[in-house]
């Protein structure tokens, strides 16, 4: 067989094997590079020591480290409610971002479903709060404050109109309850002036506003950010200037928006005018609550408030003609 015949017979086969070998080399090089790049690009983070700390204080830090948190709960009455008592990854260990960590959080307080007090007399409501079932035992709820409002047509005096927390909400026995109550029936002497509205630090600002709306009295608020959760929604200070009330109100920024809780609103008045605020239920447009009486603001002045939200709602800022100036949605994140 001549050289030309050998070349024509075996060269295509050699080219075929060469092509396969070259392809395998390229494949292994590419696979090595992928593994190398992925290994180099994986971010390592150091697991912090979170045992003994309240979960709500470390939540944002764990999210920043991109750790996937799995929460469990246990009840130790002798330990502080809400603190972390176990972490699955030891402190100081380096792990990849995105790693899963299990945390056990203590439920140290009795938990109950908030009873419905609306429509009850104040005496009856107080009795109901003295004995609330938690599991197999009875606990008592603490009254945080009472805000009185004028009796409207169809309402009974000395009766609960609204409550915070709302009926059915799962709360701890240590949470304070605030009540909006119609004034008791009293006979006034002829010429005796009507009792004014009185508010004090620690009262519920949400209910103070509701009382002022009923009385058609204007008010302004300044939001004061607090790191102390129990102060949320409470009046820090109040003064009456002429016929207008001025409040400073505590607000605790929540880590997550759950089904209900306090929210804040701040917006600059676009021009001189009179403005009011209402809150609408997103699932039922017929349900809306006025949370501020018409109040005069100067252009650029901040219109501020803190209110209690139940479910998904929309806050609407209205001008003196009832037209929408600004609206903002507040919704459950879960």
Best CA proximity match to 150, nearest among 184, 125, 193? 184
CA angle 242, 248, 250 (to 5 degrees): 160
Please tell me what DSSP assigns to residue 231.
Answer: G
Spatial contact of 248 and 274, defined as CB atoms under 8 Å apart: no
Task: Please state the φ and ψ torsions of residue 162, each to the nearest 5 degrees.
Answer: -155, 165
**SS3 of residue 313 by DSSP:** strand
Long-range (24+ apart) CB contacts under 8 A made by 21-24 are none
Candidates 253, 251, 182; CA nearest to 211 is 182
CA distance 150 to 138: 34
Asked which of 40-44, 63-67, 88-92, 113-117 is least confident by mean pLDDT, the reply is 40-44
Work out the burial of residue 141: count CB atoms within 10 Å of its CB; fewer than 13 is exposed, 13-18 middle, 19 or more buried: buried
Q: Indicate the pTM of the whole model.
A: 0.69
Residue 284's contacts (CB-CB under 8 Å, 6 or more residues apart) are none
Peptide bond into 239 cis (omega under 30): no
Confidence of residue 167 (pLDDT cuts 50, 70, 90): very high
- Of the candidates 173, 108, 118, 181, which has an alpha carbon nearest to the alpha carbon of residue 141? 173
The confidence band for 135, taking pLDDT boundaries of 50, 70 and 90, is confident
**Radius of gyration of the chain measured on its C-alpha atoms:** 32
- The strand pairing partners of 248, in sequence order, are 222, 237
Tell me which residue has tokens 């050998």. 6
| 173 pLDDT tier (thresholds 50, 70, 90) | confident
pLDDT digits (tens, 9 = 90+) for 260-316: 899 999 999 999 999 999 999 999 878 999 999 999 999 999 999 999 999 999 999
pLDDT band at residue 334 under the 50/70/90 scheme: low
Taking a C-beta distance cutoff of 8 angstroms, is the pair 160, 123 a contact?
no
**84, 107 in Cβ contact below 8 A?**
no
Walk across the sheet containing 219-225 and list its strands. 219-225, 244-251, 235-241
How far from 61 is each of 40, 58, 94, 122, 243, CA to CA, in Å? Answer: 24, 5, 15, 44, 46
Bridge partners, 148 (sequence order): 181
Confidence of residue 149 (pLDDT cuts 50, 70, 90): very high
Question: What is the separation of C-alpha 132 from the centre of its chain, rounded to a whole number of angstroms?
Answer: 25
The predicted pLDDT at position 26 comes to 60
Specify the pLDDT at position 109: 74
Q: Is a pLDDT exceeding 50 seen at residue 6?
A: no
Burial of residue 200 (CB within 10 Å: 0-12, 13-18, 19+) is exposed
pLDDT at 166 over 90: yes
- CA-CA distance, 278 to 294, in Å (whole number)? 11
Q: What is the largest CA-CA distance in the chain?
A: 136
Q: What percent of the chain has pLDDT over 90?
A: 60
Domains of the chain and any CATH numbers: 44-106 (3.30.10.20), 109-185 (3.30.10.20), 197-333 (2.60.40)
Structure token digits, residue 221: 């608020």
Burial 235-262 (b: 16+ CB within 10 A, else e): bbebeeeeeebebbbbbbeeeeeebbbb
């Amino acid at each position: 067989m001549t050289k030309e015949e050998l070349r024509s017979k075996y060269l295509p086969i050699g080219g075929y094997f060469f092509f396969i070998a070259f392809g395998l080399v390229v494949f292994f090089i590419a696979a090595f590079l992928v593994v190398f790049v992925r290994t180099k690009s994986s971010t390592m983070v150091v697991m912090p020591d979170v045992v003994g700390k309240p979960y709500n204080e470390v939540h944002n830090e764990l999210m920043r480290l991109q750790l996937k948190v799995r929460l469990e709960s246990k009840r130790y009455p002798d330990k502080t409610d809400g603190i972390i008592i176990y972490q699955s990854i030891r402190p100081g260990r380096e792990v990849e971002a995105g790693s899963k960590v299990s945390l056990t959080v203590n439920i140290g307080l009795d938990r109950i479903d908030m009873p419905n007090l609306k429509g009850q007399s104040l005496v009856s409501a107080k009795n109901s709060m003295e004995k609330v079932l938690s599991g197999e035992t009875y606990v008592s709820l603490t009254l945080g404050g009472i805000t009185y409002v004028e009796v409207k047509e169809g309402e009974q005096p000395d009766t609960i109109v609204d409550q915070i927390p709302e009926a059915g909400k799962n709360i701890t026995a240590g949470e304070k309850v605030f009540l909006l109550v119609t004034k008791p029936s009293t006979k006034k002497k002829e010429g005796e002036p009507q009792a004014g509205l009185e508010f004090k630090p620690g009262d519920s600002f949400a209910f103070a506003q509701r009382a002022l709306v009923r009385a058609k009295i204007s008010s302004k608020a300044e939001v004061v950010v607090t790191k102390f959760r129990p102060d949320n929604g409470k009046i820090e200070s109040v003064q009456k200037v002429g016929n207008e009330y001025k409040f400073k109100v505590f607000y605790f920024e929540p880590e997550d928006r759950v089904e209900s809780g306090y929210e804040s609103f701040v917006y600059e008045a676009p021009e001189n005018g009179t403005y009011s605020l209402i809150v609408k239920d997103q699932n039922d447009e017929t349900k809306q609550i006025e949370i501020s009486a018409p109040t005069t603001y100067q252009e650029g002045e901040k219109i501020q408030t803190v209110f209690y939200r139940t479910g998904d709602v929309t806050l609407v800022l209205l001008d003196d003609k009832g037209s929408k100036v600004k609206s903002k949605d507040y919704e459950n994140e879960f």
